[in-house]
Amino acid sequence: MKISFILPEHNLSGGNRIVACHARELQARGHDVAIIAPPKPPASMKTRLKALMGLKGWRHDNGADIAFYDNSAYQVKTLETHRPVAAGDIPDGDIVIATWWKTVEWVNEFPASKGVKVHFIQGYDATDVSPASKVDATWRLPFYKITVSHWLAEFGRKQLNVDVHRVIHNSVDHSIFYAPLRRRNDSPRVGFLFSDYPGKGTQTAIQVLKQLKHHFPQLEAVCFGNPSPGYRADLPEWITFHYKPSQEKIREIYSGCDAWLYTATQDGFGLTPLEAMACRCPVVTTRVGAMPELIEDGYNGYLTHPGDFDAMIRKTGNLLGCPESQWQSLSDKAFNTAHGYSWSEAGELMEMVLEDALRSQAPGKKEIAA
C-alpha cells in the first residue's frame, strides 16, 4: 500500500512519536510510507524578544523537530511554510491518514486519488483554541476511524454517537525503553512529565511532590518536557528539569526513578507512564486514556481519579515507603506489562486494519456537518 500520514506540524509530541513508530513498522512490511507536515509556526514578536533577551525560562524554537524520524526508511516531507497540507503536497496513494482534527479538515478536501481517508484518533482534541463544535464535526465525518484506547472508542459512541472501527494500543520501543533488575534508591526519587498543556496536570504533580517532601525530606524529583516557546515555570531547587532530552536520556530518567507520577486530567492513551513501566518504574497515574486498560490498581501500579489530590499523595507515598519486596514486585509486573506487547505486533495490527479500510471504504470528500 501507498500510505501518507498528515501531521499538523513536525514536533516532538507523543502523538508524532506514535505516528513515526507506525510508519517505521509499515515501511518494514514493504509498504510505501510518507509523513507530511508543515514546520512549526513563526514565534510571535513578544516571544522572539524575550528569547533574544535570554530571560530565565523563556525558550524559542524555529523550524521542524524531526528527531523521531532519524535514519528512517520512509519519506519525511516538511512544507516550505506553516500552512495547511494540500492535495498537491502528497502523492496519489491507497491510504491517507489524518492524525488531528485540523488535519481531518485538510484531508477532507483531498480528491479520491489520494486514497481512502482514515482518522487516527489519539485523543479528544477540544480545547480553548480547538472548539468542540469543530472537533466533533471531524469525528462525524465518514472516515475510517482508529483509536488508541477503548476509552476513546467508548467516548465517541456515547458522547458523539460515532462508531470507531478499530482500537490499536500503543506500544513502546523496547530497544530504547528497558532496564535491568534494580533496587529502589536510597534517597527517594519521583519523576513526572513537564508540559504547559493544562490537561497534563503538571502543576498538580508539583503540588503533590511538595506535600510529599514534608513526609520524605530527602525526596528528589526529576521531569522533562518540550514546553511551548515563551512558557515559564519556577521549580524548587530539588526538582531537576530536562528540556527536550534524547530518547536515551529519557530512559535514564525513567530508570532512575522509584515512582512515576502522571496527573493528567485527560489523555487519549498515556504514553509516558507506559515508557516508565518499561524501565521498571512503577507508576501512580490518573484514570485517563488507556491507563485503566493496562494497570490494575495495586498490582502493577496505582490508579487515582483525576483531581484526587489526597489519593495521589497517599499512593505515591506508598511506593516510596513500602517494603522493598513490595516495590520490587510492582516494578517487575510493570516491566512485564510494558514488554508484553511490541511495536511489531502493533504494526502488524495496523497493517491488517488499513487493509480492511482499503476494502471497505470508498474515498471521497464529504461535507462537515454544522
pLDDT at 129 over 80: no
Residue 273's region, left for phi above 0, alpha for psi from -120 to 50, else beta, is alpha
pTM metric for this prediction: 0.88
pLDDT at position 249 over 50: yes
Measured in residues, the chain has a length of 370
Residue 57 has pLDDT above 80, yes or no: no
Distances 174 to 3, 153, 171 between C-alpha atoms, Å: 25, 27, 9
Question: Shortest CA distance to 271 belongs to which of 8, 19, 4, 7?
Answer: 19
Q: How far apart are CA 33 and CA 29, in angstroms?
A: 10
* Domains in the chain: ranges and CATH: 2-171+343-360 (3.40.50.2000), 189-338 (3.40.50.2000)
Task: Please count the other Cβ atoms lying within 10 Å of the Cβ belonging to residue 135.
Answer: 18
C-alpha–C-alpha distance, residues 261 and 282, integer Å = 9
Residue 96, all three cell numbers = 491517507
Over the stretch 14-49, which tens digit does the pLDDT of each residue have? 899 999 999 999 999 999 999 999 998 876 555 555
pLDDT of 56 strictly over 80: no
Compute the distance between CA of residue 228 and CA of residue 317 in angstroms, rounded to an integer.
Answer: 31
**11-35: buried (b, 16+ CB within 10 Å) or exposed (e) per residue?**
bebbbbbbbbbbbbbbbeeebebbb
Residue with cell 514536533: 11
Specify which residues 39 forms β-bridges with: none
pLDDT of 230: 59
For residue 270, give the 3-state DSSP assignment.
coil
Residue 140's identity, in one-letter code, is R
Residue 346 clears pLDDT 60, i.e. is over it:
yes
Instruction: Work out the mean pLDDT of the chain and round it to a whole number.
Output: 91
Residue 70 has pLDDT above 80, yes or no: no
Q: What average pLDDT score do residues 351-367 get?
A: 79
Q: What is the mean pLDDT of residues 188-193?
A: 98
Asked if 148 and 290 count as a contact pair (C-beta separation under 8 A), the reply is: yes
